[in-house]
Amino acid sequence: MLQPSQIEQLMRCQTLEELFYALRSTTYEPLLEIYNESGDVQRLEAYLLHRNVQLHLDVAKYMKDLHEEAVLALTRKLEVENLKSVIRLWFSNTVKHQNIDYRFGYLFQDRIVADIDWTKIVNAERFEHIIDALSHTPYAKTVSTFTMEQLAVEGLFALETALDRTWIHELRIVVSHLPKIDRELTEAVLDRDADLKNIINLVRFGWMYQLPGNELRMLMLEGSDVVGTKEFEAYLATKPAQRSVEKLVAKLFPSLSRQLRESGKTTPEEQTSMVEHYLFVVRKRAFHAMLQGDPFTFGTILSYFFLEERQDAMIRTLINGIHYGWDSTNIREFVL
Amino acid sequence: MNVFTVPMKLLTAVVLDEATEQVKRALLKLGVLDFIQVSHLAPEQASRFASAREQEEPERYTNLRARVETLFMQASLVAPSTEKLNPDTMQQIDMGRSKQLVDSVANKVTAIREQQKQLSQNRIRVEELLRYVKNRQNTYVDIRIGILEKGSVEQLRSRLANQAYVLLQPADWNDLVLLTLKRDRQQVAPLMQSLNWIENPDGMKQSAAMLLLEDELEKQLRQIDATNAEIKVKISEKVHEERDKLEQLWCELRLHELMGEITENFSHTRNTTIFSGWVPLASAKELEEAIRDASNQACVIEWIDAREMPREEIPVAVEDVPLLRPFQKLVDNYSVPEYGTINPTPFVAISYLTMFALMFADAGQGLVLLLLGLLGIRYYRKNPQGRKKLISADLSRLLVYLGGASILSGIIFGSYFGFSWLPPLWFDYHGAVIGHEGANRDVYSILGITIWFGIIVIGTGLLLNWTNLIRKRDYFHLLLDKNGIIGGWLFGCGVWAAFAFVASGYKQLPEGLFLPLAFGIPLLILLTKVPLHRYLAKKHGHVIEEKGLGSIMLDSVLEWIVDVLEIFSGFLANTLSFMRVAGLGIAHVSLMSAFAQMADLAGGKVAGILIIVLGNVMVIALEGLSAGIQALRLNYYEFFTKYFTGRGLLYNPVSLRSHAGRQVLNRS
């Protein structure tokens, strides 16, 4: 892991070359060679995804039986993200008739967990071919409920959120078979994540995009306490413009409710950003607690993935921030 | 050569403010002073001192220097040698102009990178098409063979510019060949129609076209690589254009950084500057003269002997012996010796090489290691900033030694690539393992040799420990520690008793009173450890916890039990641990014999030679690695634990010479 002094040094870099020079002798050293060879920022992002997938698969190799399955189930998150990206490209090309040119080259094209023919998906003439390409994967049932005509009219939003829910569902099934201590620990993390992600979706789609209550309900991730509350039902029943996030979280997350109230931030964008930050802080605290606790639980692996994911996100932010000429204060704000 | 750490002296100097700059330059030029804050020496006076008056902000210089180094790296240039750093010619840096220079070169490089990015995107297009063509995945590509009725080939090319495509006009054909992605059909089809493309109905041409397209795509990939190489040269040229200015800037920045570091360690009164730091005794006179010269004798210099300071606060330097550098690295990886104690490096050199040689005794394979090491050294000399390979520069140097040691032991034991081509100088190791050695030696003889070797290594470790304890005047631990005289005595008696037991055919221990007394008396003395420690601590004024007689007796017995267990089981395990040296040596011989037998079974000739060559390669790689690691492990855990506390503080002077954390004194 990068040390705080190294991170501070990275944030002072003004060009990508300096950033990669500062990352010598770290696990991110290959970025320097990739950039020297290609000058292509998107290839760097592709490498970071590749690295993350490899890291998950390496951890899985060290596990056995149920724990290996659990790590692979976590890895499916990266698979789902990649699948969504490939389907988005297909959608742009085949449905929207836009030129996707070389963009497929930046996506992950090897096996992650399931045996998916990515090339077949991006080149599919009809959505049925995608369903066929995913027929032997956990996503088969989910994608088969959509049609090309439906996607052409409604877009990919429903499909993408359905894939997210499928991943969570599959993960929960695997986690339910873990030994008691690992199961309880992982489920606690998943429940909290589900709560906060649902709140983010309720703010973003229920308030910002003003989705009706029944559609919002469809978006909810399983295992969330928020969904069972009176406040949730009241939120759905309220007219989109009058929905109050503060009231929604008042009972389950009083500190978040207080922060929202005291921040003076009233726009949906600001409130979404606050909830996202709250989620990040809560997760960080939970993972740090796990690292300080019993080292021989699944929590250590969850924490490791969390810390690596956070570090990758930081490097990605630095690369994009420097490449697109963001202000150094903005970069610092995003990174920290 | 000094086997102990370098003796140090503590300097405190007061100079007039007007001489401060000159003194700083003199200190930097000499580069021997490891600064400490004056307030640390005289905490009661700390409030009277002011810290650095002008903030030099070394960070500003460090950041810009890192940027210059990044440019050097892109042009495969090495940062200027530290020889070029001259504090006497140091000038003020105009940071604005310097930044401008760096920015301008960096911007030029970034502009070239844009071309490289487009090339990278083009590579993706070509690679995708080539993949489909090579794998004959025709469902993903459209191959059109035909002619254009309207418009020109150039028109067609310009309209396809945003697509992945290949357009060919084969030499003997009237037709054009066009390869596009099927998924781009929505965009390609209308433009083909607009140019009145007439498709050739001859389906036989498709497979010939496929081969032509494959060749063309491979050619395009090669072209992309060549263009990319040209771009990298252009980037390098842009940096080379400003090389002199950048090198000069780098030197100035480095000097300012170092001067800033010195300034941070200066304290001030109203008219004077005060500084303090550790310096090797050998450089003390030179340093004093330099300060006096720089300040025109207007200075006060006070020296404090290291003996008057707490040992743990004195930084540790060791003499740099170029021949021993690879072994110094092994010691550095472990820790820093305590001030005034033995520098383990020369002892590690002997023990590490001997252990490796016993485990990897083959003159032929040793020669391969030696050559590998020499090749590595040559590579790193030619590419000082080249990418680190599997075998690093340090490892290359170590391989030269290890190869030499293996050659020597191979000659002693008569082994050359697993064969006995020449008679051994001592005994036939292979014969002893396989069971037909002339002098009736077998694997037990080899085990015996390595146990004796272990006893010598452990014994040496104990002697070094006693030397360290005498130098530290720690007579309590010298007598009563498990690695002290009592521990050593018990180890010696144990060895004697064990060999006597073996000599009796594993039947009986030596008879008589000597053995019970040899073990009994030291064990009784060991019982006094706790009360004696308390008495000495009290005598030296240390605060100790008040305890009753019963409690002290209980502590004594518990500590005694732990000590006895540690002495007996520890020394036994340490000694037997050296049997791994024999184990690996025997495994080495067994593997080579197995390969020789396999070569015989293969009927000799080419197949046999191939088996022998592959066997040797495998043994050199795996056994070599294994022997290296085991020798290191034995040094770290069986040898160092006897005398090397590793509690030293690094000597880290502000110096023009680059150093990685630890500064070793050069004999020259």
Q: How far is B232 from chain A (nearest CA, A)?
A: 8
Residue among B289, B182, B118, B616 at smallest CA distance from A39: B118
Q: Is B143 left (phi over 0), alpha (psi -120 to 50) or beta?
A: beta
CB B21, CB B318: distance < 8 Å: no
**A133 touches A124 (CB < 8 A):** yes
pLDDT band at A246 (very low <50, low <70, confident <90, very high): confident
Strands B649-650, B315-316: pairing kind: parallel
Is the Cβ pair B116, A38 closer than 8 Å? Answer: yes
Q: Is residue A123 less than 8 Å (CB to CB) from chain B?
A: yes
The verdict on B186 touching A (C-beta cutoff 8 Å) is yes
Q: pLDDT band at B40, cuts 50/70/90?
A: confident
- pLDDT tens-place string over residues B413-431: 999 999 888 999 988 888 8
**Which of B117, B184, B231 is facing A40, going by the closest CB pair?**
B117
The kind and range of the H/E element at B180 are strand B176-181
Q: CA geometry: angle at A281 spanning A275 and A287, to 5°?
A: 135
Instruction: Give pLDDT tens digits for B1-28.
Output: 778 999 999 999 999 989 999 999 999 9
CB-closest option in A12, A100, A102 to B63: A12
Q: Is B31 left (phi over 0), alpha (psi -120 to 50) or beta?
A: left
The answer, for B588 touching chain A at a CB cutoff of 8 Å, is no
Partner-chain contact B183 A39, CB within 8 Å? no
Whole-number pLDDT of residue B660: 39
Subunit contact A122:B164, Cβ cutoff 8 A: no
Q: Does B507 touch chain A (CB under 8 A)?
A: no
Backbone angles phi, psi at B537, to 5 degrees: -60, -45
CB distance from B71 to chain A under 8 Å?
Answer: yes
Residue B146 β-bridge partners? B176, B199
Mean pLDDT to the nearest integer, A62-86 = 96
Count Cβ atoms below 10 Å from residue B5 Cβ, excluding itself. 23
Mean pLDDT of B217-224: 96
- State the ipTM, two decimals: 0.88
- Tens of pLDDT, residue by residue over B378-411, are 988 887 666 666 778 889 999 999 999 999 999 9
Q: What's the average model confidence in pLDDT over B522-551?
A: 90
Is residue B15 within 8 Å of residue B298, measured between CB atoms? yes
Answer whether B627 touches A (CB < 8 Å). Answer: no
**Is A319 in the B-facing interface, judged by CB distances under 8 Å?**
no
pLDDT category, B52, cuts 50, 70, 90? low
Q: Do B232 and A36 touch (CB under 8 A)?
A: yes
Residues ≥6 apart with Cβ < 8 Å to B251: B80, B84, B85, B86
Judge whether B69 is closer than 8 Å to chain A, CB to CB: yes
Instruction: Read off the tokens for A70.
Output: 């659990």
Angle at which helices B549-577 and B514-526 cross, to 10°:
130
Cα(B76)–Cα(B387) distance, integer angstroms: 10
| CA-based nearest distance A14→chain B, Å | 9
CA distance to partner chain B, nearest, from residue A47 (Å): 14
pLDDT at A289 over 90: no
In whole angstroms, how far apart are CA B376 and each of A24, A162, B91, B617? Answer: 22, 56, 40, 17
- What is the Cα–Cα distance from B589 to B429, expressed in whole angstroms? 8
